[in-house]
Amino acid sequence: MSTQYPALIVIVPLMSALICFVVGWWNRNFCYKIAVAAIAVSFYSSVVTMKDVMANGVIHYWVGSWEPPWGIEYVVDYLNGYMLIIITFISLLAVIASKKSVEKDFPEKAPAFYSIFLLLVTGLVGITITGDVFNVYVFLEIASIAAYALIAIGKRDHAPMASFNYVIYGTVGACFYLIGVGYLYMVTGSLNMADLAKLLPDLYNSKVVLVGFAFLLVGVCIKMALFPLHMWLPDAYSLAPDSVSSLIAPLMTKVSAYVMIRIMFTIFQPVFSFEMLPVGSICGWLAVIAIFVGGIRALAQKDLKNMLVYILVAEVGYIVIGISVGNRIGLTGAILHIMNDAAMMACLFLIVGAIAYKTGITDITQFRHMNQKMPFTMAAFTITALSMVGLPPACGFFSKWYLVLGAINANQWVLVVTLLISSLINAILFFRVIEYAYFYPHPEHGAEEHVHATSHGHAEIVMNEAPLSMLIPILIMATLILVLGPFSGKIISSIIQFAIPAGF
């Protein structure tokens, strides 16, 4: 039984998606329970798998017992074991938090929502776990198609149009990836990642391999919304229902970043990606522009969710910087930042969902007295904000530290400056929200207003906290952000250093 855990991670959400839809015909309330249970099983399986990897080394699971390179192989090593835990954990919290907002926004679509939600999780874990490049394409499309549908499921105005743009961009991305796979298949006759890694080094001078690599990378960059291919992201993620954006915003881009790391470091060797081709410097410059464009566009937004999606564009730039500096410390920072950023984004989008559910407010300028209305949520927001800015006890500091160190080691001073300026931009962005929530109206005016208000007899601001199903995931996430920081040394020494290819 224990050897079947890698398969369970993928199979359980996939099968439950079908069960969810059928059961939803006679009782809608079961769907939520099925979804939570399925993702919990998936999370448990990935924890067990990761433990197994740490005890016994890399796991090779042959699907249907077909021997690779002919059959599809699931390979779990330190890198994707770590990714699987992040993905399943965040989707577990997201699905728990989705209960109330689904009941409020679209109760009649609950069966469809949960079954597509489970398909999306299936796609995300599938991309991560598989060791077969064509299988990555299939799971990438499962995840993307589920995301297209989920974005348009809500009643938000303009959401179908945003989703349609995502369909067009996403399809181009997936097709480019598929062309890349086709070109590699033409010269090697193999689709297995480990097999490709063995066969490709002799062919590094072939033009077909070069074109294949370029197609793979561009395809993945579209999926991860690296500037200038990010045009679909802001609309699609900000118009998605809150219960959906707390799943896709933290995870979709991170999983694509994972695929990018796999392509550049596992399928191809760093020698090819960095020394034979200028991929590092191209991606580095794009990441710099992404960070600035994301930051500046975020400054222009009044709506909290719109602000967050532009910050997400900038955060993608962070991860790409870590990958593009092409040294061990930078890559450590990138892998660490995948986790930290997923945690921070999940927390922020859950908070947005909770605030919108309870008060209906998304405009930052209307956040006054939010600290009294929703004290726990805003406390979590403050912790996450400090982490986004990069203050030490929170986890955001540590990954930025490694990213900056990596950039210094590579003598890429532009990247160092960009990272530091971007922290300042984040400080402005988040302190603006905190100021509106905590300190507005300003103390001296506040006292006056208070006296004025008591004379009319309605000064009390009632505490109106989010329901527990939303609050608990938020608080867990916020605690994790604080806890992961001091433990990042341990995470690096026990997981990430083994996740980076040897000799790099």
Partner 1 sequence: MDFIIAKYNYWIYIILMMIGFYAMIVKNNLAKKVVGMNIFQTALILLFISTGVKTGGATVPIVIGDAHGHAIPGTLHAIDYINPLPHVLMLTAIVVMVATFGVALALLIMIFKRYKTIEEDEILEIRRKEAFT
Q: Does 160 bind partner 1 (CB under 8 A)?
A: yes
3-class secondary structure per residue, 177-228: HHHHHHHHHHHHCCCEHHHHHHHHHHHCCCHHHHHHHHHHHHHHHHHHCCCC
Closer residue to partner 1, CB minimum distance, 175 or 482: 175
Q: Does 186 bind partner 1 (CB under 8 A)?
A: yes
Out of 136, 145, 249, 331, point to the residue binding partner 1 (CB under 8 A). Answer: 145
Asked if residue 126 lies in contact with residue 10, where contact means CB atoms within 8 angstroms, the answer is yes
- Kindly list the distances between the CA atom of residue 502 and the CA atoms of 130, 265, 467, 496, 499, in Å, as whole numbers in the listed order: 20, 10, 47, 12, 9
Size of interface with partner 1, in residues (CB under 8 A): 25
Out of 175, 214, 289, 427, point to the residue binding partner 1 (CB under 8 A). Answer: 175
Q: Does 185 bind partner 1 (CB under 8 A)?
A: yes
Closer residue to partner 1, CB minimum distance, 96 or 146: 146
3-state secondary structure of 462: coil
Report how far residue 465's alpha carbon sits from residue 471's, in angstroms, rounded to the nearest whole number: 8
Out of 158, 302, 450, 490, point to the residue binding partner 1 (CB under 8 A). Answer: 158
Asked if residue 389 lies in contact with residue 348, where contact means CB atoms within 8 angstroms, the answer is no
Out of 106, 134, 204, 440, point to the residue binding partner 1 (CB under 8 A). Answer: 134
Report how far residue 25's alpha carbon sits from residue 2's, in angstroms, rounded to the nearest whole number: 34
Q: Does 96 bind partner 1 (CB under 8 A)?
A: no
Among the listed ranges 31-39, 103-111, 168-176, 399-407, the one in contact with partner 1 (CB under 8 A) is 168-176
Buried b vs exposed e over 419-442: b needs ≥16 C-beta within 10 Å? beebbebbbebbbbbbebbbebee
Closer residue to partner 1, CB minimum distance, 82 or 113: 113
Among the listed ranges 4-12, 35-43, 103-111, 160-168, the one in contact with partner 1 (CB under 8 A) is 160-168
Closer residue to partner 1, CB minimum distance, 135 or 371: 135
Q: How far is the CB of 170 from partner 1 (least distance, A)?
A: 8
Among the listed ranges 150-158, 266-274, 280-288, 335-343, the one in contact with partner 1 (CB under 8 A) is 150-158
Q: Does 306 bind partner 1 (CB under 8 A)?
A: no
Closer residue to partner 1, CB minimum distance, 186 or 271: 186
- Phi, psi values for residue 192, rounded to 5°: -80, 135
Structure tokens at 483: 């806890």
Structure tokens at 257: 């970043």
Q: How far is the CB of 69 from partner 1 (least distance, A)?
A: 11
Among the listed ranges 31-39, 93-101, 134-142, 250-258, the one in contact with partner 1 (CB under 8 A) is 134-142
Report how far residue 320's alpha carbon sits from residue 226's, in angstroms, rounded to the nearest whole number: 8
Out of 23, 95, 102, 152, point to the residue binding partner 1 (CB under 8 A). Answer: 152
CA count, 13 A, side-chain hemisphere, 191: 19
Residue type, 31: C
Out of 182, 228, 278, 392, point to the residue binding partner 1 (CB under 8 A). Answer: 182
Q: Does 302 bind partner 1 (CB under 8 A)?
A: no
Out of 7, 85, 179, 421, point to the residue binding partner 1 (CB under 8 A). Answer: 179
Helix (H) or strand (E) holding 289: helix 279-299
Q: Does 276 bind partner 1 (CB under 8 A)?
A: no
Out of 141, 195, 242, 315, point to the residue binding partner 1 (CB under 8 A). Answer: 141
Q: What ranges in 300-411 are assigned the alpha helix state H? A: 304-324, 328-359, 370-373, 375-389, 395-409
12's CB contacts (< 8 A; 6+ apart) are: 38, 41, 42, 45
β partners of residue 60: 75
Tally of CB atoms within 10 A around 504: 13
Q: How far is the CB of 214 from partner 1 (least distance, A)?
A: 15
Asked if residue 197 lies in contact with residue 264, where contact means CB atoms within 8 angstroms, the answer is no
Q: How far is the CB of 189 from partner 1 (least distance, A)?
A: 8
Among the listed ranges 158-166, 416-424, 479-487, 494-502, the one in contact with partner 1 (CB under 8 A) is 158-166
Q: Does 272 bind partner 1 (CB under 8 A)?
A: no
Among the listed ranges 163-171, 193-201, 265-273, 286-294, the one in contact with partner 1 (CB under 8 A) is 163-171
Residue with token string 């920072």: 333
Report how far residue 462's alpha carbon sits from residue 459's, in angstroms, rounded to the nearest whole number: 9
Q: Does 237 bind partner 1 (CB under 8 A)?
A: no
Could you list the residues that contact partner 1 (CB under 8 A)?
A: 134, 137-138, 141, 145, 148-149, 152, 157-158, 160-161, 163-164, 167-168, 171-172, 174-175, 178-179, 182, 185-186
